[in-house]
Amino acid sequence: MPTLDITGKTAVYGILAHPTDHVRAPQVFNAAYEAAGIDAVLVPLDVTPENLATVVEALKVTRNFHGLTVTVPHKVAMADLCDELAPGGERVGSVNAIRFTEDGRMLGDNFDGKGYVTGMRKAGFDFAGKKVLQLGAGGAGMSIAFSVAEAGAAEIVLANRTVAKAEALGQRVQAAFPGTSVSGVAADADPAGYDVVINTTSLGLHDGDALPVDVDRLSAGTAVSEIIMTPVHTELLKRAEAKGHPIYFGKPMLDEQIKLIGAFMGCPLPD
Ligand code: ATR
């Protein structure tokens, strides 16, 4: 158990989810607050969708409650409830971080993509000028596609089981970043000829999942990047590593997001 010394002056933050059994933010943030000597606490808030607006209205006027991280199933609904969205939340239409201002307004942003790109940069991968194959066009994939374009990728091909989602996302990213060539294709498109392949699908989370891409069809030297954190070494990363591809793990995305979300909520954590 955390040994936080909570007093009447402690700043309170929350993670909004339903259910909350599996959320890890309280442990992660509270350990960081404690290590940094920050007088703050983050608590789990299990709120059903039908009560979301009521709870949020109450939190907005709770004077010692300053911000939220947001996860399943509330990311899209919370974007609609915000008074203002930062560009990262606006373009994706979902938020995973909220800050309450002193005058009772609610600001939102989405750090999935920024966390991913920052993690990759710190691991030594720069997207500028790169040809990128992104597998998946779901919630996280959407945010990542925008941020990879923003980081200066030359070309992004979005490959998804539901091709219409890849095409629609491709058009939106293309419109926002005309300097990047963006397209949406079916999941079985040829994966040869890219600098990096990013897996944003959920394939790899569970034992026995199919591989999201045929590793034997990748060009030599293509980097392979995951956003799945558990297992650390997904089957995709194992196979890619065995074939000599540079591999990038999923956890840095979360580590960077925690820092970005902490700063956005108004409680920056040390680097
Ligand atoms: P998240 O918020 O984690 O991104 P999501 O929005 O449900 O989760 O997105 C999951 C992604 O994994 C989607 O791209 C999904 O493809 P569809 O858009 O076709 O649903 C992909 N995905 C999930 N299960 C899959 C499977 N069995 N085969 C191929 N792709 C799969």
Q: Which DSSP state fits 31?
A: H
Query: Which helix (H) or strand (E) segment is 266 a member of?
Result: none
Q: Which whole-number Å values give the CA distances from 41 to 30, 74, 100, in the listed order?
A: 6, 21, 15
Q: Is the pLDDT of residue 2 over 60?
A: no
Q: What percent of the chain has pLDDT over 90?
A: 92
Say yes or no: 217 and 125 in one domain.
yes
**Residue-averaged pLDDT of the chain:** 95
Q: Is 162 in the pocket of ligand 1 (CB under 6 A)?
A: yes
pTM for the model? 0.92
User: Distance between CA atoms of 257 and 251, rounded to whole angstroms?
Assistant: 10
Boundary (domain end) residue, out of 86, 110, 134? 110
Q: Which of 201, 209, 236 to mutate to test the pocket of ligand 1 (most atoms within 8 A of CB)?
A: 201
Q: Do residue 48 and residue 101 come from a single domain? A: yes
State pLDDT tens for residues 184-207: 999 999 999 999 999 999 999 999
- Tens digits of per-residue pLDDT, 236-260? 999 999 999 999 999 999 999 999 9
H helices of the chain, in order, are: 25-36, 52-60, 75-81, 87-90, 112-122, 139-150, 163-176, 235-242, 251-265
Do the domain assignments include residue 264?
Answer: no
- Whichever domain contains 242, its CATH number is 3.40.50.720
Residue type, 81: L
Last residue of a domain, one of 75, 110, 145: 110
Q: What are the pLDDT digits (tens) for 37-60?
A: 999 999 999 999 999 999 999 999
Residues 132 and 241 reside in one and the same domain:
yes
- Whole-number pLDDT of residue 103: 85
Rounded (5°) CA angle 145-155-249? 50
| Residue 261 structure tokens | 């979300």
The verdict on residue 248 lying in a domain is: yes
Both structure tokens of 229: 């954190």
Domain carrying residue 137: 113-253
Q: Name which residue sits closest to atom 18 of ligand 1, judged by CA.
A: 162
Both 197 and 230 in one domain: the answer is yes
Tokens standing for residue 106: 């609610």
Rounded Cα distance, 121 and 131, in Å: 16
Going by pLDDT thresholds of 50, 70 and 90, the confidence category of residue 3 is low
Residue 263 lies in a domain: no
Q: What number is the average pLDDT over the span 225-242?
A: 96
In a domain, 265, yes or no: no
Asked, for residue 268, whether it belongs to a domain, the answer is no
CA 247-248-252 angle, to 5 degrees, is 165
Q: Is 161 in the pocket of ligand 1 (CB under 6 A)?
A: yes
Res 201: pLDDT: 97
CATH value at residue 22:
3.40.50.10860
Our answer on whether the CB atom of 167 is closer than 6 Å to any ligand 1 atom is no
Answer yes or no: do 180 and 65 share one domain: no
Same domain, 241 and 120: yes
Token code pair at residue 68? 């939220």
Closest CA to 89 of 138, 24, 142: 142
Which ligand 1 atom minimizes the distance to the CA of 209? Answer: 27
Q: What is the count of structural domains for the chain?
A: 2
Compute, in angstroms, the gap from residue 138 CA to the centroid of ligand 1: 6
- Answer yes or no: is 260 within a domain: no
Q: Is the pLDDT of residue 4 over 80?
A: no
Provide the token pair at 209: 């999942």
Q: Which of 112, 116, 134, 202 to probe ligand 1 with, by most ligand atoms within 8 A of CB?
A: 202
Q: For ligand 1, atom 27, name the residue with the nearest CA.
A: 203
Q: Are 130 and 195 in contact (CB under 8 A)?
A: yes
Beta strands across the sheet bearing 131-135? 181-186, 155-160, 131-135, 196-199, 223-226, 247-248
199 lines ligand 1 (CB under 6 A): no
Confidence of residue 270 (pLDDT cuts 50, 70, 90): confident
> Is 122 among the residues known to form the active site?
no
Whether residue 259 is contained in a domain is answered as no
Closest CA to 133 of 160, 168, 171, 110: 160
- Indicate whether 85 and 142 sit together in one domain: no
Do 158 and 139 fall within a single domain?
A: yes
Specify whether 182 is located in the same domain as 99: no
Number of CB atoms found within 10 A of residue 238's CB: 13
Taking alpha carbons only, the member of 99, 125, 95 closest to residue 111 is 95
Q: Are 65 and 126 in the same domain?
A: no
Residue 1 has pLDDT above 60, yes or no: no
pLDDT tens-digit readout, 65-113: 999 999 999 999 999 999 999 999 999 999 999 999 988 899 999 999 9
**Amino acid at residue number 258:** I
Is residue 210 situated within a structural domain? yes
What distance in angstroms lies between residue 213's CA and the mean position of ligand 1's atoms? 13
Q: What is the pLDDT of residue 216?
A: 97
Query: What is the model's pLDDT at position 100?
Result: 94
Q: Do 122 and 49 fall into the same domain? A: no
Helix (H, G, I), strand (E, B), or coil: what is residue 72? coil
Q: Are residues 249 and 117 in the same domain?
A: yes
What pLDDT was estimated at residue 102?
85
